[in-house]
């Protein structure tokens, strides 16, 4: 009897082969994605306190000082300010932080300073956990939110001081917001905003009219303030020249100043506001 030759269709053979393989070989496990967190990052919020109205937290997550710069561990700095009578100077802690393998749990510090947080999937919220890493059963807020921009502890402290006592006249960047009672135009073509800085060390003025750099000096005596003639570079910008000229003319009329919070009014001899400024956000 003649022998029968047998043929196997390639597709069928492959299917049968895959079916006969153990499940572990059919689907090789994929390596877990490495958790990442864009750095540096600032998280802020007020968390509950056992014997005070709350504790203001400012947590900065920083990369390592030297490469390679990992995104799942690094350095941290934490500023704690107690509200109410407990008050006093803020406390600062520094140390190391690390994300868990699944990127869900953040550990900052060690020993008595060890803190655990649950991080949401977007990396924008940190919720405090108890010492064992369990959720805290409470209706109180235990969440820190990621700030839109990173802020150093020094900048955060300065912002708090300004909010409490007002920005200082000198050594503050003052951004022009109104001129002669009218809002100023916001540059849209890459030009700088009109602003002033009064440097206390040498009574020097610097800034911008919105197009040209401004250089000069100032004379201050209590609430009195005047500006000797101010020099400016001679650029011709496509926009804002009329506003810049009006700004320089207003500075010539300045005779006094007053500050309320983050707002500075420069006034003429009659006490009328000729230009109004706002303390620029810390960079």
- CATH assignment at residue 270: 2.40.128.270
CB contact at 8 A, 116 and 129: yes
Locate 160 and state its tokens: 């708090």
Question: Residue by residue, what is the 3-state secondary structure of the chain?
Answer: CCCCCCCCCHHHHHHHHHHHCCHHHHCCCCCCCCCCCCCCEEEEEEECCCCCCCEEEEEEEECCCCCCCCCCEEEEEEEEEECHHHCCCCEEEEEEEEECCCCCEEEECCHHHCEEEEECCCCCEEEEECCCCCECCCCCCCEEEECCCCCCHHHHHHHHHHHHHCCCCCCCEEEEEEECCEECCCCCCCCCCCEEEEECCCCEEEEECCCCEEEEECEEECCEEECCCCEECCCCCCCCHHHHHHHHHHHHCCCEEEEECCEEEEECCCCCEEEEEEECCCC
Decide if 15 is inside a domain.
no
CB contact at 8 A, 261 and 278: no
Residues 130 and 73 in one domain: yes
CB contact at 8 A, 43 and 128: no
Give the distance from CA 214 to its chain's centroid. Answer: 28
The per-residue pLDDT for 50 is 87
CB contact at 8 A, 57 and 142: no
CB contact at 8 A, 128 and 142: yes
| pLDDT tens digit at each of 283 positions of the chain | 444 444 343 443 333 333 334 444 445 555 444 456 788 999 999 999 988 899 999 999 999 988 877 888 999 999 999 998 766 789 999 999 999 988 899 999 999 899 999 999 999 999 999 999 999 999 999 999 999 889 999 988 877 777 777 789 999 999 999 999 999 987 766 678 899 999 999 999 999 999 999 999 999 999 999 999 999 998 888 788 899 999 999 999 999 999 988 899 999 999 999 999 998 854 4
Domain count, the chain: 2
Residues 258 and 229 in one domain: yes
Residues 188 and 90 in one domain: no
Residues 180 and 270 in one domain: yes
Decide if 35 is inside a domain.
no
Give the distance from CA 6 to its chain's centroid. Answer: 72
Locate 140 and state its tokens: 């109180």
Residue where the block lists tokens 């043929």: 7
> Domain boundary residue among 101, 136, 156?
156
- CATH assignment at residue 66: 2.40.128.640
Decide if 102 is inside a domain.
yes
For 216-253, b/e burial (b = at least 16 CB within 10 A) is: bbbeeeeeebbbeebebeeeebeebeebbebbbebbeb
The per-residue pLDDT for 37 is 73
Residues 48 and 127 in one domain: yes
Locate 214 and state its tokens: 């401004």
pTM > 0.95? no
Residues 173 and 146 in one domain: no
Residues forming beta bridges with residue 216, ordered by sequence position: 205
The per-residue pLDDT for 281 is 59
Residues 150 and 46 in one domain: yes
Residues 152 and 176 in one domain: no
Q: State which residues form the domain around 178.
A: 167-234+241-279
Decide if 199 is inside a domain.
yes
């Amino acid at each position: 009897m003649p022998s029968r030759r047998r043929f196997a269709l390639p597709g069928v053979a492959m299917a049968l082969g895959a079916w006969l393989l153990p499940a572990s070989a059919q689907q090789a496990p994929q390596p877990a994605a490495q958790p990442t967190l864009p750095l540096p990052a600032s998280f802020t919020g007020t968390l509950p306190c056992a014997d005070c109205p709350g504790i203001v937290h400012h947590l900065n997550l920083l990369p390592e000082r030297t490469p390679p710069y990992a995104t799942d561990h690094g350095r941290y700095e934490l500023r704690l300010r107690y509200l109410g009578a407990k008050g006093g100077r803020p406390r600062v802690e520094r140390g190391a932080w690390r994300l868990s393998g699944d990127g869900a749990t953040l550990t900052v510090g060690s020993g008595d300073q060890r803190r655990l947080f649950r991080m949401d999937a977007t990396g924008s919220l940190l919720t405090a956990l108890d010492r064992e890493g369990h959720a805290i059963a409470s209706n109180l807020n235990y969440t820190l939110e990621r700030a839109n921009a990173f802020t150093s502890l020094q900048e955060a402290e300065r912002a708090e001081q300004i909010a409490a006592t007002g920005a200082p006249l000198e050594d503050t960047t003052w951004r022009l917001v109104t001129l002669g009672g009218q809002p100023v135009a916001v540059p849209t073509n890459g030009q700088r905003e009109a602003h002033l800085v009064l440097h206390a060390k040498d009574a020097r003025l610097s800034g911008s009219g919105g197009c040209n750099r401004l250089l000069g000096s100032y004379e201050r005596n209590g609430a009195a303030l005047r500006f000797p003639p101010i020099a400016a570079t001679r650029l011709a910008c496509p926009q804002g020249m009329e506003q810049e000229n009006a700004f320089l003319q207003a500075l010539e009329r300045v005779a006094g100043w007053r500050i309320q919070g983050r707002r500075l009014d420069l006034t003429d001899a009659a006490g009328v506001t000729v230009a109004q400024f706002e303390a620029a956000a810390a960079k």
